[in-house]
Structure 1
């Protein structure tokens, strides 16, 4: 949270408040409708991914329940510091419903981790195939970025493979649980194709909302040039140091857009538009949150009911 606040302070110092105000002003009309529609698809995909992972761990749930819970968690992530409070809430609530908090926490953790892993792979692939747009100004800029991404991904993949193949040799309980979860919930034949498909659609959906945010600013930039920028900014926005989603996203956008000659101010404006679109698109989660609270209040026993229950118990 402190890091996110520091990034925003530096951006205001460097580019002023104009890009922030412009971003808020431009969040209207068709971009909002498009973001709501696209986010409904990405939320469905993420909820399906969660069901696949949770099913591998033995904690099933209906898809309708998963979608509602995922909308609620997205709204909490978009309005509370850190960007992960909603996921914790989703895991704890589901754990209480199924009576197994540990498995529910692990299911949400694996679901988010697997989605982020697919996002990293897609980002690295796009950097290779389309090249970093800054190559038109500095041809060597694309190679280090892609190389670093691939090295990191290769290292993570190698570590996962070693842990998976040697899971029985690990003496620690955590190590055995890690490899067991990885095998049963993520890499199982019944799960990984769906996880890969759902995660890919979700990443492309979020990138589409980012491109809509660029279009809303009036900037005329080709999608092929914007896609690497979008994926890099979205990856940075996943860092849990934000303030209700704000901070790293705007900082990454300012750097990315300035590095390709589009200007840091435009990057901040686009990030603000995207942030507002993402926030509005999670508002169905607020409806789910309010509805759940009202149902809880309606089903809670009143004073008279509670007294009658006590009297019947001791009668």
Structure 2
């Protein structure tokens, strides 16, 4: 057990250091101005827009998770799913690694349903389906970009498929059987899951485009949308400091590759990061209310016993 915890700690620090290294390299290459501009140019109107749009994307994601959880036998009502999703987004945006909120959501749901394995896997399926749909959309959008972006992404896609095949091949037979059975249970709701994922991705793209326009980028909407899908896909890599690092690195790279300037891409990514963080603040309120509710419940349960 201690060895497992040691490995987890090492992996956590490795992810943090990787994100910090990306940010340090960006400051070294681009200076601090893009970071300052991204913070100073973000307007109240942009923040309000992000709050409203993120409410829609959160609803779409919660709908997806609710569908998955119901099929796996650990149903979660849509209203409960929305609140849990807001809390997980807030934790993802404020804690290292960018995935601890989803871990918290899975563990909490597993405890509440007394089915920890299925509770955790419902969240894993939810995130995996969302990322898969976003990856397909990003690869389709790459056709709008220059070869210097298309080639590395095509190579990365091939590597990702190879790694996924390797991971699947090395899974124990029992794990494969469980996942195959759960995939069969989800078969009837794949259209809804795909639609929910596409709506969520579209919402994130709109927030990114608003961030770009807010800081003065006047590139065509189609180009910005394609860039957004690529950057948001890279930002899902679970390294960095509360989501910061891969997103900024990817933005600097792809904006530079299409001739819009790495510094401008970095400024957009910083503005988007601020907007995304503010948009998760309802999750902070829900997190505090849930924690207070649990504390208030404990004496009642003891007295009942």
The equivalent of 2:5 in structure 1 is: none
1:255 to 253, 267, 272: 253
The equivalent of 1:301 in structure 2 is: 299
Q: For residues 5 and 259 of structure 1, what CA distance do their matches in structure 2 show? A: 23
Shift of 1:148: 3.6
The equivalent of 1:77 in structure 2 is: 92
Tell whether 2:74 aligns with 1:59: yes
Aligned-partner SS, 1:253: helix
Q: Cα gap change, 1:219/1:111 in structure 2, threshold over 3 Å: closer, same or farther? A: same
Shift of 1:281: 0.3
What is the TM-score normalised by the length of structure 1? 0.85
The equivalent of 1:176 in structure 2 is: 177
Contact 2:42 2:215 in 1 (8 A): no
Shift of 1:92: 0.6
The equivalent of 1:281 in structure 2 is: 279
The equivalent of 1:291 in structure 2 is: 289
1:206 to 185, 204, 207: 204
| Larger radius of gyration between Structure 1 and Structure 2 | 1
The equivalent of 1:235 in structure 2 is: 233
Please, which runs of 5 or more residues in structure 2 have no aligned partner?
1-15
The equivalent of 2:59 in structure 1 is: 44
Q: Cα gap change, 1:143/1:287 in structure 2, threshold over 3 Å: closer, same or farther? A: closer
The equivalent of 1:196 in structure 2 is: 194
The equivalent of 2:213 in structure 1 is: 215
Equivalences, count: 288
What is the TM-score normalised by the length of structure 2? 0.88
Q: For residues 171 and 8 of structure 1, what CA distance do their matches in structure 2 show? A: 38
Farther off after superposition, 23-32 or 249-258: 23-32
> Which residues of 2 match residues 91-170 of structure 1 at below 5 A?
91-128=106-143, 130=144, 132=145, 135=146, 140-141=147-148, 144-145=151-152, 147-148=154-155, 151=158
Q: For residues 293 and 219 of structure 1, what CA distance do their matches in structure 2 show? A: 42
- TM-align CA RMSD: 2.3
Shift of 1:71: 0.2
1:226-269 per-position Cα deviation (integer Å, ceiling 9, x unaligned): 12211111011001011001000000001111111211111111
Shift of 1:70: 0.2
Q: Cα gap change, 1:153/1:192 in structure 2, threshold over 3 Å: closer, same or farther? A: farther
Contact 1:124 1:149 in 2 (8 A): no
Contact 2:148 2:257 in 1 (8 A): no
1:132-165 per-position Cα deviation (integer Å, ceiling 9, x unaligned): 1xx3xxxx435525644665687699x59x99xx
Q: For residues 207 and 38 of structure 1, what CA distance do their matches in structure 2 show? A: 10
Please, which runs of 5 or more residues in structure 1 have no aligned partner?
164-169
Aligned-partner SS, 2:249: helix
